[in-house]
Structure 1
Amino acid sequence: MQKKWLLGVLFLVITVFSAACSMDSAEGEETEGDDVIDIVWYPNESGNDLKTARDAIGSEIAEATGKEVEHHLTTDYAIAIETIVNDNADLAFMGAQGYIEASDQNDAVQPIVVSTGPSGTLDDAMYHSWLAMKVDDQDEFKVDGEFSLDTIEEKRFSFVSNSSTSGFVVPSATIIGHFSDKDLAEEDLMESGPLFSQVLFGGSHQGSAVNLLNDSADIAAFCDTCVNNYVEVAEGEENTVGSVYRVKDDAEEPFNTVTGSEFMLMSVTPVLNAPFVANMDVLGEEDYELIQEVFASDEIANNEEIFVPKDSDVSGLFSKSDQERFVPVEDEWFNPIRELSQN
């Protein structure tokens, strides 16, 4: 009887010890997961040419939090938005419209910072949405020698993604406003028939521009900041209607197939800068504050791998001409883009 009792006690001890080890192992796995900060990037920022810039940002975040940083690259806007919405990423860099869509689906998605304009404030924190055509086709888009949106009817049009701020929401609002007599909605611009003979989506700003330059589209919407690494001003001034841009001879993918091609700007519209955002359910308040603090620091503002000097040949996510830096931003700052989507 005593022997059986001892065996029973021994079995109970082993069982409890094994359970404790299993719990420790599970807790260890959870902690390990929490020690990784995953950043999801739009297709525009997922190219090999921007790896140095992504890594520089990741290094700053890793140093601030003491955690490993992993980069989640994508080829589709919807995938990037779903990744942050569905708790599969801590951070994302996305346009204003993408942020609005993400926060509507998951209120844990909150903005951290945006890059400023040359003043170092939010007053000029903007980039530009372009409508462009090939230089040789410019006369097709003019009435009495001036560019006119009347001429875009029945043309082949390329957008970026219907989740793109400057590659869809802003140009769509401009077009719908111009053709007010047609009672158009955003959905009407996503398909052939109501206004355009054909509608394409490039999947990225680079892809939309290439759709134009390889003759898949007659006119295309894309933004200045996403193609600046691949093009240069050939005639005129930056972000000015009528200016001509030329694809650099050493341009990387996807522009390597259209080097030397030129396009002209038909329309230039200012757009609110894109935010870095966090999923607070995944990231947590402490890391959010650490990351916001490091983003807004002078160290990052002066990091030339993050804010690349304007005349540099190095590809970067952000350019530096004066006092550009990151500053914290509140959700309300994006209301002008919300209003465009609701109109």
Structure 2
Amino acid sequence: MKKKLSFFVILVVFGLFLTACSEGSATEGAEVDDVIDIVWYPNESGEDLKSSRDAIGEVIAEATGKEIDHHLTTDYAIAIETLVNGNADLAFMGAQGYVEASNKNDAVQPLAVPTGPSGTLDDAMYHSWLAVNIDDQEDYKVDGEFSIDTIQDKKFSFVSTSSTSGFKVPSSSILEHFNEKPEYTDLVEEDLMEGGKLFSQVLFGNSHQGSAVNLLTNSADVAAFCDTCVDNYVEIEKGEENTVGAVYRVKDDAAEPFNSVTGSEFTLMSVTPVLNAPFVANVDALGQADFDKLVEKFTSDEVANNEQIFVPEDSEQSALFSKSGDERFAPVEDSWFEPIRELSK
């Protein structure tokens, strides 16, 4: 009887050990194959960015010797879950998307981040905007200055709840401001996701481009979106780029979805710096060997000087990344994203 009991205990302990080893890695043991699947957010899934996606795919194929399959999406959540579940090996996603994905599966790891003009992570940032239509700008000013107070009871457009610059950063700023007011001390992030609390109506564009178009078609009064995701479609009309009060105009030859609002103008009422978006990998699905190859390849001088990836700033070509200085990809640790995690605490 004692021998049977001892054997039973051993089985239980062994089972618990296996369970503990598998926790936090939903794709552990995933089969590494000869195809590398890359999933793209809606913002980067447009036809105008195909050349950028293909150039990056060529670099990955060269580094690994494997076939590349691009997966385009219309929803942030789909892209995130595809990577988390191991149905994609790589993704280019915002810091918030990475945080969500890595929380669900610790096999999701950052591969590289595009730097700023210095060539380092010190200025590796883009900008989250709150924008209003140019003809309505006076409605959002108090004593001649733009004021967040004025967005109360307006129709507001975010990008997606998984968007860093299109939701997480602006919602954090909005809450920080309104929580100081007696009537809004209990306002929480969930209250910004629907009308009736702070806003009269809340829309989600499902991409930065979509949120901007919500504004320009008057579906929304105020919209959150970022500079880099609309850079290919707009041009500075007045003021200095990425400053409050700057006016942007949709280019006459803008591609979809801006082709229906060409010539429209908007102005910035708020500008907030945001950590650059990383390329990330599901290491279980990709394989550690290919992960290491890609870190080395992405961060090489060869890729930094590849004008199909870092397109010269004065180029007419639509691209994911441009070069005004020493921009390149840099390796990055998970801890670099801690400021984004702090926004959810």
In the alignment, structure 1 residue 262 sits paired with structure 2 residue 265:
yes
Shift of 1:185: 1.0
Q: Which residue in 1 is equivalent to 2:151?
A: 152
Q: Choose which of 315, 338, 343 in structure 2 pairs with 1:340.
A: 343
Matches within 5 A, 1:143-222: 143-180=142-179, 181=181, 182=184, 183-222=186-225
Q: What residue in structure 2 maps to residue 38 of structure 1?
A: 37
One-letter amino acid of the counterpart of residue 334, structure 1: F
- What is the letter of the counterpart of residue 74 of structure 2? T
Structure 1 residue 300 corresponds to structure 2 residue 303:
yes
Matching residue's letter, 2:235: E
Query: CA–CA distance in 2 between the matches of 1:116 and 1:179?
Result: 33
Q: SS at 2:70's partner residue?
A: strand
Q: Counterparts of 1:70-85 in structure 2 under 5 Å?
A: 70-85=69-84
Structure 2: state its 5+ residue gaps: 1-29
Q: Which amino acid aligns with 1:333?
A: W
- Hey, what does 2:9 align to over in structure 1? none
1:13 is matched with none
Equivalent in the alignment of 2:17: none
Q: Which has the higher helix share?
A: 1
* Other structure's SS at 1:158 match: strand
User: Which of 240, 243, 253 matches 2:243?
Assistant: 240
Supply the RMSD in Å over aligned alpha carbons: 1.0
For residue 87 of structure 1, what is the aligned residue in structure 2? 86
Question: 1: CA distance between counterparts of 2:152 and 2:102?
Answer: 34
Q: Distance in 2 between matches of 1:260 and 1:303?
A: 33
Match of 2:319, SS? coil
Give, in whole Å, the separation in 2 of the partners of 1:319 and 1:126: 13
CA distance in 1, matches of 2:251, 2:57: 29
Partners in 2 of 1:37 and 1:115 — Cα distance? 21
Q: Equivalent residue of 2:344, what SS?
A: helix
The match for 2:322 among 319, 324, 334 is: 319
Paired AA for residue 243 in structure 2: T
Q: Measure, in 2, the Cα distance between the counterparts of 1:304 and 1:184.
A: 47
Structure 2 partner of 1:97: 96
Aligned residue for 2:111? 112
SS in 1 for 2:117: coil
Displaced runs of 4 or more, over 6 A? none
Taking structure 2 as the reference length, what is the TM-score of the superposition? 0.89
**Could you report, residue by residue, the CA deviation over 1:245-281 in whole angstroms, capped at 9, with x for unpaired residues?**
0000000000000000000000000000000000011
Cα distance in 1 for residues equivalent to 2:198 and 2:311: 40
**Structure 1 length-normalised TM:** 0.90
Distance 1:133 1:308 in 2: 30
Q: How many angstroms apart in 2 are the aligned matches of 1:331 and 1:340?
A: 16
Q: Does 1:282 align with 2:285?
A: yes
Which AA in structure 2 matches 1:244? V
Deviates more, 1:261-270 or 1:295-304: 295-304
Give, as a single letter, the amino acid of the residue that structure 1 aligns with 2:342. Answer: E
Deviation at 1:90, TM superposition (A): 0.4
Q: Using the alignment, how far apart are the partners of 2:308 and 2:266 within structure 1?
A: 29
Kindly provide the amino acid, as one letter, of the partner of residue 77 in structure 2: A
Question: Residue 250 of structure 1: SS of its match in structure 2?
Answer: coil
Number of equivalences? 312
SS at match of 1:172: helix
Give the drift of 1:230: 0.2
Aligned to 2:27: none
Residue aligned with 1:341, SS: coil
| Identity of matched residues, % | 76
Q: Please state how far the C-alpha of 1:208 moved relative to its aligned partner.
A: 0.1
- 1:247 and 1:308 map into 2 onto residues whose CA distance is 21
What letter corresponds to residue 238 of structure 2 in structure 1? E
